């Protein structure tokens, strides 16, 4: 089988199956209900579990229950639904279970809109649920990459026994792009016998729990979690460098859909105006590619950074922190479901060049 | 020497933290006895709730999964759907099941999840210190209904068995009481029936156990039993509300 044309949502569903995830619980919400529709068709035919829950709260708690038994399990939703799932995410992190969440982000706050947005960056990277916990956040920028990272998400969740979230938007979920499943293979799952609630035959009983009544034990557990998140910072940062090999004057930072617009702008500048502009595209939003940006901020050839987001400035804060604002950090955004177009993005970049006098 | 009484194998030897007179201990033991008697300990997963009985996971010597407030039926659904060979039960109080978890219990019942739900109705929130529950009796004083539950203001106590009975999906729905030994024996029979239905993969099963909370009621244990009989029994009739055989 070569490349096939596939809608993002359906590719996400198929990728989960290819990843060895045969358990899926969800509640419909635009713009990603097609994932549930696809898996409702596919999973029963291959002995999997598909269940439409009564709410995102219940769907995510079903994920919690299933994850406790050691099976690969996921749910998918969009922004308002993810808010409801944040309770379960906290419990899953607190009970140290692997599970995969997909957030096809839409405009907010509140009911917001259904079009592409990156307004859930804070929620995904810093604030999904109560208590001290973090999780890996992967931000693929096209359908093929979404498929590839779906495959990686499950072993990563198992490596850390922690939720993993993939974020996209309606553009990726609704768009048809060529996808290749040929080189996609699931990773074998490790042993779950020591912790999974599968019945205590021939072993000690297992307990899935996040309650620590003794504050000293809870503190110790929090320290253990902090170590885990630091390990993610050390081992899991992924980013793409684009047009970065000739010491560009301006370094753009954008992820997901906006990174594609920025790439288009860069390509045109490189062709027409010979402006030296490159892009750092974070693929992991947590852990954020802190070091690469901090190192660039100390380089003399870098005169400014430019951040493009579909939010009022969320990743922007991480870029400012990463670069220590050693160089100006300029910001351009569209929000509410509007994707920045290449022309306005080019104008933004041109203005940065004007400001730095290059 | 012949053993005529012992701790159920499905219970640990932990001393429970419950207040004097509390009926949780009785209910825990009955669940454990049923699990023992049915020989299902090694494939049982219990879902512990939030509330006084959160520490159920310490007292049961089976695999256990501690759930968020109200969400136990959803967690149980997740476990059971991916591991249908397991026996999965949730154990929930009235604040947990009848207030914050109404959506989860109704939909688990309506889907006909092959799980068992043990519902402890003691007409009050225990762990948080005696606040009004959906099951609190009319005029009953609690810390958040200090002048008595005013049914014109906050409605009447919710009867969960009666609500669940209305669902078309086949199920076993029963209410029993723990206020004296005779009724406790009947309660255990209901629990055994509920687990048996699950073991036969027949239907969703739900047993409500009328219970007492002497500490938060502010009534000594023996008198609490009388209070249950006088106040709760007339409003919460005992019996089997529905069996899967009811359906054609």
ipTM for the predicted complex comes to 0.97
Give the count of Cβ contacts less than 8 A between chain A and B: 131
Give the pLDDT mean for A107-130: 96
**Could you read off the pLDDT of A287-324 as tens digits, one per residue?**
999 999 999 999 999 999 999 999 999 999 999 999 99
- Residues B40, B196: contact at Cβ < 8 Å? no
Does A326 score more than 60 pLDDT? Answer: yes
Q: What is the dihedral of CA A66, A71, A77, A79, to 10 degrees?
A: 80
Residues A222 and A73 in one domain: yes
Give the closest-approach CA distance of A225 to chain B in angstroms: 19
**C-beta atoms of A65 and B65 within 8 A:** yes
Instruction: Give the H/E segment covering residue A352.
Output: helix A342-356
Q: Are residues A261 and A351 in the same domain?
A: yes
Say yes or no for a CB contact (<8 Å) between B79 and A69: yes
Chain A residue with minimum CA distance to B100: A57
B82/A23 CB distance under 8 A = yes
Mean pLDDT of B206-224: 98
Boundary (domain end) residue, out of A235, A250, A279: A235
Judgement on whether residues A284 and A221 belong to the same structural domain of the protein: no
Contacts of B143 (CB under 8 A, 6+ apart): B129, B130, B131, B132
Same domain, A130 and A218: yes
In the predicted model, what is the mean pLDDT of residues A214-229?
98
Name the pairing type of β-strands B87-93 and B116-121: parallel
Q: Encode pLDDT of A133-179 as tens digits.
A: 999 999 999 999 999 999 999 999 999 999 999 999 999 999 999 99
Please tell me which of the candidates A49, A57, A202 has its beta carbon nearest to residue B81: A49
SS3 A158: helix
Both A68 and A90 in one domain: the answer is: yes
The dihedrals phi and psi of A289, each to the nearest 5 degrees, come to -70, 70
Residues A121 and A50 in one domain: yes
Which B residues in the span 29-58 are in contact with A, Cβ-Cβ below 8 Å? Answer: 41-45, 47-48, 54, 57
User: What tens digit of pLDDT does each residue of B76-115 get?
Assistant: 999 999 999 999 999 999 999 999 999 999 999 999 999 9
Contact, B122 vs B212, CB < 8 A? yes
> Residue A171's closest CA among A266, A258, A243?
A258
Of A73, A197, A200, the CB nearest to B65: A197
- Judged by a CB distance cut-off of 8 A, whether residue B202 touches chain A is no
Nearest CA in chain A to B48: A209
**Listed residue (A58, A291, A262) closest to B101, CA to CA:** A58
Q: Of the candidates A58, A91, A95, which has its C-beta nearest B104's C-beta?
A: A58
Q: Is A141 helix (H, G, I), strand (E, B) or coil?
A: coil
Cα dihedral across residues A128, B103, B79, B31: positive or negative: positive
Which residues lie below 8 Å from residue A119, measured CB to CB, with a gap of 6+? A79, A105, A107, A108, A109, A112, A310, A311, A312, A314, A335
How confident is the prediction for chain B on average, in pLDDT? Answer: 97
Amino acid A1: pLDDT: 65
pLDDT, tens digit (0-9, with 9 covering 90-100), for A49-105: 999 999 999 999 999 999 999 999 999 999 999 999 999 999 999 999 999 999 999
Residue B193 has pLDDT above 60, yes or no: yes
Instruction: State the alpha helices, DSSP H only, in A193-341.
Output: 215-235, 256-272, 290-297, 315-323
Q: Is the pLDDT of residue B247 over 80?
A: no
Domain residues of chain B, as ranges? 24-246
> Is the CB of residue B11 less than 8 Å away from at least one CB of chain A?
no
In this prediction, residue A127 carries a pLDDT of 83
Residue B248 pLDDT more than 60?
Answer: no
CB-nearest to A65 from B57, B62, B74 is: B74
Chosen from B78, B84, B109 to mutate, greatest number of chain A CBs within 10 A: B78
- Pick from A25, A53, A201: which is nearest to B42 by CB? A201
Cis peptide before A287 (omega within 30 of 0): yes
Mind giving me the DSSP string for B184-234? HHHHHHHHHHHHHHHHTT--EEEEEEE---HHHHTS-HHHHHHHIIIIIHH
pLDDT above 60: residue B177: yes
Residues B144, B132 contacting (CB under 8 angstroms)? yes
Q: Which residues of A sit within 8 Å Cβ distance of B?
A: 23, 25, 49, 51, 53-55, 57-59, 61-69, 71, 73, 87-88, 91, 95, 197-202, 205-211
Q: Angle at Cα A172 formed by Cα A168 and Cα A174, nearest 5°?
A: 125
The pLDDT tens digits for A4-42 are 999 999 999 999 999 999 999 999 999 999 999 999 999
CATH architecture of B24-246: 3-Layer(aba) Sandwich (3.40)
Residue range of the domain that includes A257: 240-356
Chain centroid to Cα A37, Å, comes to 22
Asked whether A239 and A283 are in contact (CB, 8 A), the reply is yes
B68·A88 Cβ contact <8 A:
yes
Residues of B in contact with A198 (CB under 8 A): 45, 63, 83, 86
Query: Do A147 and A184 meet the contact criterion of CB atoms below 8 Å apart?
Result: yes
Residues A64 and A135 reside in one and the same domain:
yes
Whole-number Cα distances in Å, B178 to B64, B181, B185, B229, B239: 24, 7, 9, 10, 13
* A350 and A214, same domain (yes or no): no
| Distance from C-alpha of A143 to C-alpha of A263, rounded to nearest angstrom | 16
**B109-142 pLDDT per residue, tens:** 999 999 999 999 999 999 999 999 999 999 999 9
pTM exceeds 0.90: yes
CATH of the domain at A331: 3.40.50.920
Q: For residues A324 and A184, which has the higher predicted lDDT (pLDDT)?
A: A324
Q: What whole-number distance in Å separates Cα of residue B91 and Cα of residue A344?
A: 58
Total number of domains in chain A: 2
8 A C-beta contact, residue A113 and residue A107: yes
- Grouping H, G, I as helix, E, B as strand and the rest as coil, residue B174 is strand
Residues of B in contact with A207 (CB under 8 A): 57, 63-66
The SS3 of residue B18 is coil
* CATH number of residue A145's parent domain: 3.40.50.970
Please, are residues B237 and B225 in contact by the beta-carbon 8 Å criterion? no
Q: Are residues A82 and A171 in the same domain?
A: yes
Q: Do B43 and A95 touch (CB under 8 A)?
A: no
**Cβ contacts of residue A91 below 8 Å, gap of 6+?**
A61, A64, A210, B67, B68
- Same domain for A144 and A228, yes or no, is yes
Residues in chain A with CB shorter than 8 Å from the CB of B54 are: 211
Q: Is B82 on the interface with A (CB under 8 A)?
A: yes
Residues A244 and A178 in one domain: no
**Of A52, A208, A210, A214, which to mutate for an interface test with B (greatest number of B Cβ within 10 Å)?**
A208
Q: Cβ-count burial of A160 within 10 angstroms (0-12 exposed, 13-18 middle, 19+ buried)?
A: buried
Token code pair at residue B24: 């949780």
Cβ contact (<8 Å) for B68 and A197? no
Please check whether residues A169 and A266 belong to one and the same domain: no
Tracing tokens 């016998």 back to the chain, one arrives at A193
Higher pLDDT, A293 or A187: A293
Q: pLDDT grade, residue B1 (50/70/90)?
A: confident
Last residue of a domain, one of A235, A260, A286: A235
Half-sphere exposure of B234 (CA within 13 A, CB side): 6
Chain B partners within 8 Å of A209 (Cβ): 48, 57, 64-66
Of B47, B78, B80, the CB nearest to A63: B78
Cα A352 to its chain centre, rounded Å, is 29
The minimum CA-CA distance between A17 and chain B, rounded to whole Å, is 15
Chain A interface, best mutation among B43, B72, B75, by max A CB count within 10 A: B75
Among A212, A235, A258, residue at a domain's last position? A235
Cβ pair A199:B44 closer than 8 A: yes
Cβ distance A256 to A140 under 8 Å? yes
């Amino acid at each position: 089988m070569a490349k096939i044309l596939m809608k993002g949502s359906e590719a996400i569903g198929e990728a989960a199956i290819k990843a060895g995830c045969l358990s899926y619980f969800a509640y419909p919400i635009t713009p990603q209900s097609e994932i549930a529709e696809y898996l409702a068709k596919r999973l029963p035919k291959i002995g999997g579990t598909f269940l439409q829950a009564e709410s995102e709260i219940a769907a995510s708690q079903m994920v919690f229950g299933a994850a406790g038994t050691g099976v690969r399990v996921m749910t998918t939703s969009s922004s308002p639904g993810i808010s409801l799932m944040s309770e379960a995410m906290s419990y899953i992190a607190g009970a140290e279970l692997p599970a995969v969440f997909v957030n096809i982000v839409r405009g907010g706050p509140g009911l917001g809109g259904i079009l592409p947005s990156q307004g859930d960056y804070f929620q995904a990277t810093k604030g999904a649920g109560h208590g001290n916990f973090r999780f890996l956040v992967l931000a693929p920028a096209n359908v093929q990459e979404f498929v590839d990272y779906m495959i990686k998400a499950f072993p990563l969740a198992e490596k850390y026994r922690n939720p993993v979230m993939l974020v996209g938007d309606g553009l990726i979920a609704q768009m048809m792009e060529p996808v290749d499943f040929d080189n996609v293979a699931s990773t074998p799952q490790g042993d779950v016998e020591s912790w999974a609630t599968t019945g205590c035959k021939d072993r000690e009983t297992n307990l899935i729990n996040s309650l620590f009544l003794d504050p000293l034990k809870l503190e110790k557990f929090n320290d253990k979690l902090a170590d885990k998140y630091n390990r993610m910072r050390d081992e899991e940062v992924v980013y793409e460098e684009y047009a970065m090999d000739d010491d560009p004057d301006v370094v753009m930072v954008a992820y997901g859909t906006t990174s594609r617009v920025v790439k288009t702008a860069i390509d045109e500048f490189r062709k027409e105006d010979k402006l030296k502009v490159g892009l750092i595209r974070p693929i992991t939003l947590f852990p954020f590619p802190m070091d690469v940006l901090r190192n660039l901020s100390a380089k003399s050839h870098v005169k400014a950074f430019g951040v493009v987001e579909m939010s009022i400035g969320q990743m922007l804060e991480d870029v400012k922190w990463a670069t220590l604002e050693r160089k100006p950090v300029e910001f351009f955004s569209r929000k509410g479901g509007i994707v920045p177009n290449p022309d306005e993005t080019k104008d933004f970049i041109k203005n940065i060049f004007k400001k730095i006098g290059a | 020497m012949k053993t005529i009484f012992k701790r159920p194998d499905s219970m640990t030897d932990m001393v429970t933290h419950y207040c004097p007179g509390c009926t949780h201990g009785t209910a825990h033991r009955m669940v454990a006895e049923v699990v023992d008697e049915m020989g299902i300990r090694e494939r049982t997963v219990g879902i512990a709730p939030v509330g006084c009985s959160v520490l159920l996971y310490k007292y049961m010597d089976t695999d256990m999964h501690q759930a968020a407030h109200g969400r136990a039926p959803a967690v149980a659904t997740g476990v059971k759907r991916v591991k249908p060979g397991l026996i999965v039960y949730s154990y929930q109080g009235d604040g947990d099941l009848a207030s914050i978890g109404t959506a989860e219990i109704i939909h688990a019942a309506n889907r006909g999840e092959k799980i068992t739900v043990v519902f402890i109705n003691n007409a009050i929130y225990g762990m948080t210190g005696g606040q009004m529950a959906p099951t609190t009796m009319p005029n009953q004083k609690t810390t958040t209904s200090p002048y008595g539950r005013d049914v014109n203001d906050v409605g009447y106590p919710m009867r969960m068995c009666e609500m669940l009975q209305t669902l078309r999906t086949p199920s076993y729905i029963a209410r029993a009481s723990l206020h004296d030994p005779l009724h406790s024996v009947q309660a255990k029979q209901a629990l055994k029936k509920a687990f048996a239905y699950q073991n036969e993969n027949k239907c969703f099963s739900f047993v409500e156990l009328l219970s007492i909370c002497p500490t938060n009621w502010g009534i000594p244990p023996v008198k609490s039993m009388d209070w249950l009989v006088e106040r709760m029994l007339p409003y919460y009739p005992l019996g089997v509300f529905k069996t899967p055989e009811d359906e054609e």
